[in-house]
Amino acid sequence: MTGAGAPAASRALRSQGRRTVRRLLEAGVEVLAAKGYHAARVDDVVRAASTSHGTFYRYFANKDDLFRALLVEVGEAMGEHAESLGPLTADDAGREELRRWLVGFARLYDRFAPVVRAWVEAEMDTDQFGRVGADVLAGFAGILTERIEAADGPVDDPASAAIVVVAMIERANYYAAVGHLAIDPEPLADSLAAAVHAALFGISTPRVSH
Amino acid sequence: MTGAGAPAASRALRSQGRRTVRRLLEAGVEVLAAKGYHAARVDDVVRAASTSHGTFYRYFANKDDLFRALLVEVGEAMGEHAESLGPLTADDAGREELRRWLVGFARLYDRFAPVVRAWVEAEMDTDQFGRVGADVLAGFAGILTERIEAADGPVDDPASAAIVVVAMIERANYYAAVGHLAIDPEPLADSLAAAVHAALFGISTPRVSH
Amino acid sequence: MTGAGAPAASRALRSQGRRTVRRLLEAGVEVLAAKGYHAARVDDVVRAASTSHGTFYRYFANKDDLFRALLVEVGEAMGEHAESLGPLTADDAGREELRRWLVGFARLYDRFAPVVRAWVEAEMDTDQFGRVGADVLAGFAGILTERIEAADGPVDDPASAAIVVVAMIERANYYAAVGHLAIDPEPLADSLAAAVHAALFGISTPRVSH
Amino acid sequence: MTGAGAPAASRALRSQGRRTVRRLLEAGVEVLAAKGYHAARVDDVVRAASTSHGTFYRYFANKDDLFRALLVEVGEAMGEHAESLGPLTADDAGREELRRWLVGFARLYDRFAPVVRAWVEAEMDTDQFGRVGADVLAGFAGILTERIEAADGPVDDPASAAIVVVAMIERANYYAAVGHLAIDPEPLADSLAAAVHAALFGISTPRVSH
DNA sequence: TATGAATGAGCCTTCATTCAT
DNA sequence: AATGAATGAAGGCTCATTCAT
């Protein structure tokens, strides 16, 4: 798994080739961060990777192919993290687990923010591109649904609750990463954990002691 | 307030001109719905409005000018609705008020979905365009913050709680409108109201019957 | 029938537009003559037509669309001429008719040589382009077949005889037009008429009197 | 004579080198057959020859160098065959000789069809490439002219008659090989022999039985 | 000697915007 | 006021050829 796109799928890359692919992928993230998906130019990417157009198309079928490859990487990292969510319980341990998991998610999100933003930007366009992103989301929601069912809390409809939770987590992190609204990361993580736990078990925070 | 863009600002439009502007705005929504922001072409808009390029530029400075005008309309409607949120209370009346408000929001969202999607798509691009959208969000979050503070619930940080709530509401409706994930509108509204109320007052649902 | 390509098919062209189309078609012939089909650049055409790339694509879907339009024009002219062939008879009148017809053909061929050469060059490429050309040839061969059958001469298989004759006429004119081989037009026309008549009626030339 | 191009001219090739050259030439024919001259890519050739770009340019100066080498091979074979045409006489023996010769030509043409098609396609492009082909044709026409003169038939202008005959033979075979028009090979050979003999001696076919 | 990685000029096409009628 | 013709900068992609290993 080199991370390369379609044109390189049939060939076995040598070490030089693999290095170039890596450089292009990293350049892709850079450009996505700087200009976003639609404004990203192949020229920007090859310049950032210090290579040529010809080389780009040796490893990726086109612009989308590169970004799809990036999204797949992100999807894999996110999927792995999603699996790491332990059982959800109504007690403090459960809330703590949730918090731990959300912090990990925030870290991932922050790291991959440019790619996720690109996905959001591109959602409408390419079926393929949108598909990869939707799969990530669906996988996420699926795992949450399982945990919620297993938690046996007061939730009526685990599937739609999971979606609400995913939506909340994703967007809140998105706002934080994009900086669209001014939020501090720490209180946000707390608020999120509280909100999610409350949504699942009905108790907002342990310090409700008045 | 005719809804026209910059070039028409200095002129007083006659009724024919106003009709043309109206046609262009509606065509803009149509095109946004059909193709999204980045794939929308001026040519698509003028064809949908049965008019010409020359005419388009008589009323709007450029493509973005049209979409900004649309977004302003949406922002105004959303802002008005935001203001209509009554006091939030921990009891059933508070939950009911919340539910009413969320249903209204879902209706608005549904009606303006193409424009909102366009905004999401365009977020990175134009400072101006993104700004209008961010203002809408910020206005929203501000009003919620006020209400949460006034509610005097167990919430620690009203501002970031408001953002979590906005994120949850916005995204959940977005998913529903775009159809990215399969959600039924009714249980979604219920789940949302329950989740928001729980996040604010710590009681998830009245029917916790274990 | 303006001769324009696909993009102009749905619009009604005004006189300015029709003039532009005409200029582009003529420029196409020029460029074809100077550089041939494969070396022809859209840029060459628009420069020869003193217009812009944008304008080119307003009237033709792409390079091929322009050349197809030209080929259709040629095909129509050739088809009309083909129809003008009178009955073939074994006597001098028949030979004279044949000669007249061949001379007319040579004139047409000369006039449209660049386009025909382009067709020959492109034969393999586009199905569409090749199809138009093949249709012209087939139409030609069909008419000849009819005439040969009507002539009731000693020919065994009118269809393949017609093809031989078409091949002979086409190529001989081609060589003459392209200048690949040094041929004078007049004796060529004579030789062709003699050969064709001989092929159809078995008498090569009237002056075989030894 | 290894058939290699310019870069190999100065070196003496070992047996491995000769094998590589052979593979490249055969790959060239394959690719020409499959995609034609203009669509042929160096990459296609090296892939078909199971070798690399670097190797290709060790033996051929460039793409055209390979195809020129192929055309030279064809030209030699054709030239040899042309020489094999015996004296043309007005009697049945002459007609039979002509038929034999034409059948041999058809076989050659069929075998080399891809290369000949490539030549036709490329006629305009490279002076060099076109020249080789024109030389083949001219050699052909020259030999025919000689034979026609020696035959002392009723032909007025042997040179242009030869060209008409060459045109007829070449194109008819071309159509047959390319499949542009539906022709059966056998009646075509007969028709051709009959037509050529008639053009030269004035008697179309022996079986004129009216 | 062979391989495959890299190059970059070149070409087609799009589309927001301006202009002439 | 409206129309549609014209513009041209910009960007994606190809592929013959050269280079480094």
Tens digits of per-residue pLDDT, B126-139?
A: 556 667 777 777 88
Q: Using the 3D structure, point to which of C46, C61, C76 is the last residue of a domain.
A: C61
Residues 6+ positions from A184 with CB-CB distance below 8 Å? B160
Q: Which residue is nearest to nucleotide E12 (CA to C1')?
A: C42
Reported confidence tier of residue C54, pLDDT bands at 50, 70, 90: very high
At C182 the pLDDT is 59
- The radius of gyration of chain A's CA atoms, rounded to the nearest angstrom, is 20
DSSP letter, residue A208: -
Inform me whether the pLDDT recorded for C92 exceeds 90.
no
**Region A49-71 average pLDDT:** 94
Buried b (16+ CB within 10 A) or exposed e, C35-60: bbbbebeeebbbebbebeeebbebbb
At residue B208, the pLDDT reads: 35
**Residue nearest E2, CA–C1′ metric:** D55
Count CB pairs under 8 A between chains A and B.
177
What's C52's DSSP letter?
-
State the pLDDT at residue D206. Answer: 41
Same domain, C139 and C114: yes
Nearest chain A CA: its distance from B168 CA (Å): 4
Most confident of A138-142, A175-179, D43-47, D166-170: D43-47
User: What is the average per-residue pLDDT within C105-133?
Assistant: 74
Say whether pLDDT at C196 is over 60: yes
> Is the confidence at residue D84, as pLDDT, over 60?
yes
Query: A138 contacts in B (CB within 8 Å)?
Result: 181
Confidence band, pLDDT 50/70/90 cuts, at residue D22: very high
Lowest mean pLDDT among A3-12, C145-154, C179-188, D31-40: C179-188
What's the mean pLDDT in D170-178? 76
The answer to whether D47 touches D26, Cβ cutoff 8 Å, is no
pLDDT digits (tens, 9 = 90+) for D102-128: 888 888 888 888 888 888 777 655 556
With touching defined as 3+ CB pairs under 8 A, do chains B and A touch?
Answer: yes
Q: What are phi and psi of C63, to 5 degrees?
A: -55, -50
A85 and A121, same domain (yes or no): yes
Tell whether the model's pLDDT for residue C4 goes beyond 80: no
First to last CA, chain C: 56
Nucleotide nearest to A64 (CA to C1'): F12
A1 domain residue, yes or no: no
In the predicted model, what is the mean pLDDT of chain C? 82
pLDDT for residue C31 is more than 70: yes
Output the pLDDT for position C123. Answer: 64
Residue D79, CB, less than 7 Å from strand E?
A: no
Q: How many CA atoms lie within 13 A of A96 on its CB side?
A: 3
Q: Label residue C120 by pLDDT band (50, 70, 90).
A: confident
Handedness of CA A65, A70, A73, A79 (dihedral sign): negative
Residue D23 and residue D103 in one domain: no
Is residue A204 within a helix (H) or strand (E), and if so which, with residue range? none
Residue C95 has φ and ψ, to the nearest 5°, of -65, -35
Q: Note the pLDDT of residue B127.
A: 56
Please answer whether residues C113 and C119 qualify as being in contact, where contact means their C-beta atoms are separated by less than 8 angstroms.
no
Chain E bases closer than 7 A to any CB of the protein: 1-21
Rounded Cα gap, residues A113 and A122, in angstroms: 14
The reported pLDDT for the residue numbered B11 is: 73
Whole-angstrom CA distances from D28 to A154, D118, D196 are 73, 11, 34
Provide the pLDDT for residue B2.
60
Q: For residues D187 and C160, is the Cβ–Cβ distance under 8 A?
A: yes
Do B40 and B71 lie in one domain? The reply is no
Please check whether residue A69 touches B, CB under 8 A.
no
The whole-number pLDDT of residue C176 equals 73
- Does the distance separating the beta carbons of A204 and B198 come in below 8 Å? yes
Q: What is the pLDDT of residue D106?
A: 83
In this structure, are B41 and B123 located in the same domain? no
Of D137, D187, D205, the CB nearest to C202: D205
Specify whether D46 is located in the same domain as D114: no
pLDDT at D178: 66
Token digits for A120?
């959001």
What does the DSSP 8-state code read for residue A179?
A: T
Structure tokens at A194: 């509280």
* Residue D47, CB, strand E, below 7 Å: no
In a domain, C1, yes or no: no
D150, D153, D156, D161 alpha-carbon torsion, rounded to 10°: -70
Pick from A184-188, B26-30, D70-74, D176-180 the range whose average pLDDT is largest.
Answer: B26-30
Closest by Cβ to D117, choosing from C124, C175, C188:
C124
For residue C60, pLDDT over 70 is answered with: yes
Cα-trace Rg, chain B: 20
In the predicted model, what is the mean pLDDT of residues C9-35? 89
How far apart CA C59 and CA A18 sit, in angstroms, is: 45
Please tell me the distance in Å from D92's CA to the nearest CA on chain C.
15
Residue A207 in any domain: the answer is: no
What pLDDT does residue B47 have?
A: 95
Asked if the structure places residue A209 within a domain, the reply is no
pLDDT at A210: 35
- Choice between C121 and A51, residue whose per-residue pLDDT is larger: A51
Q: Is C98 on the interface with D (CB under 8 A)?
A: no
Q: Are residues A40 and A128 in the same domain?
A: no
Predicted local distance difference test score (pLDDT) of residue A55:
96
Residues A186 and A91 in one domain: yes
In 3D space, the residue among C90, C101, C106 whose CA is nearest the CA of residue C186 turns out to be C106
What is the average pLDDT across D170-175? 79
pLDDT tens per residue, range B145-164: 999 999 888 888 888 788 88
What's the pLDDT band for D182 if we cut at 50, 70, 90? Answer: low
Give yes or no for a contact between C189 and C99, defined as CB atoms under 8 angstroms apart: yes
Instruction: Give dist(CA D129, CA D5) in Å, integer.
Output: 13
The type of residue at B111 is R
Identify whether residues B18 and B114 lie together within a single domain. Answer: no
Residue C144 covered by a domain: yes
Give the pLDDT confidence score for residue C44 in this predicted structure.
96
Q: Does residue C24 surpass a pLDDT of 80?
A: yes
Residues 6+ apart with CB under 8 A from B196: B98, B102, B165, B168, B169
Which residues are CB-neighbours of A96 under 8 A, at least 6 positions away?
none
Count the domains in chain A.
2
Measured CA C57 to C1' E14 distance, in angstroms: 9
Is it the case that residue A169 has pLDDT exceeding 70? yes
Q: What is the pLDDT of residue A168?
A: 81
Instruction: Write out the H or E segment, with its range, that includes residue D5.
Output: none
The single-letter code of the amino acid at B176 is: A
Task: For chain D, give the percent of residues with pLDDT over 70.
Answer: 85
Q: Are D7 and D21 in contact (CB under 8 A)?
A: no
Please tell me the predicted confidence (pLDDT) of residue A44.
96
Report yes or no: C127 at the D interface, CB cutoff 8 Å. Answer: no
Q: What is the CATH number of the domain that holds B12?
A: 1.10.10.60
The residue range of the domain holding A41 is 6-61
D10: in domain: yes
Cα separation, C95 vs C93, in Å, equals 5
Nearest to D64 by CA among D9, D19, D136, D122: D122
Predicted pLDDT of residue B168 = 82
Of B6-15, B152-161, C58-67, minimum mean pLDDT range: B6-15
pLDDT given at position C127: 56
Protein-proximal positions, strand F, CB < 7 A: 1-21
Residue corresponding to tokens 């003999």? D197
Domain end marker among C61, C82, C103: C61
Which residue, among D155, D168, D209, D210, would best test binding to C if mutated, counting the most C CBs under 10 Å from its CB? D168
Report which listed range, A54-63, A102-111, C134-143, D145-154, is most confident. Answer: A54-63
Q: What is the mean pLDDT of chain B?
A: 81
Q: Write out the DSSP string of A126-137.
A: -HHHHHHHHHHH
B41, two tokens: 């072409």
In 3D space, the residue among D208, D156, D149, D164 whose CA is nearest the CA of residue C202 turns out to be D208
User: Is residue C56 located within the same domain as residue C79?
Assistant: no
For residues A69 and B146, give the distance between their C-alpha atoms in angstroms, rounded to a whole number: 44
Residue B209 vs residue D193, higher pLDDT: D193
D121/C121 Cβ within 8 A: yes
For chain B, the first-to-last Cα distance in angstroms comes to 56
Same domain, D77 and D32: no
Q: How far apart are CA C114 and CA C177, in angstroms?
A: 9
CA–CA min distance D115, chain C (Å): 13
Q: How far is A13 from chain B (nearest CA, A)?
A: 35
Report if residue C208 sits inside a domain: no
Q: In this structure, how many other beta carbons lie within 10 angstroms of the beta carbon of residue D89?
A: 19
CATH number of the domain where residue C110 is located: 1.10.357.10
D18 CA → E1 C1’, Å: 13
Q: Are residues D33 and D117 in the same domain?
A: no
Check if B63 contacts A (Cβ < 8 Å).
Answer: no
**Domain boundary residue, one of A16, A44, A61:** A61
Which pLDDT does position C78 carry in this prediction? 86
CB D205 within 8 A of CB C156: yes
CA C59 to C1' E18, whole Å = 19
Of the pLDDT bands very low, low, confident and very high (cuts 50, 70, 90), residue D180 is low
Choice between D192 and B182, residue whose per-residue pLDDT is larger: D192
Q: DSSP 3-state assignment of C133?
A: helix
Spatial CB neighbours of A49, under 8 Å, sequence gap ≥ 6: A20, A23, A24, A26, A27, A56
pLDDT at B183: 63
A150 part of a folded domain: yes
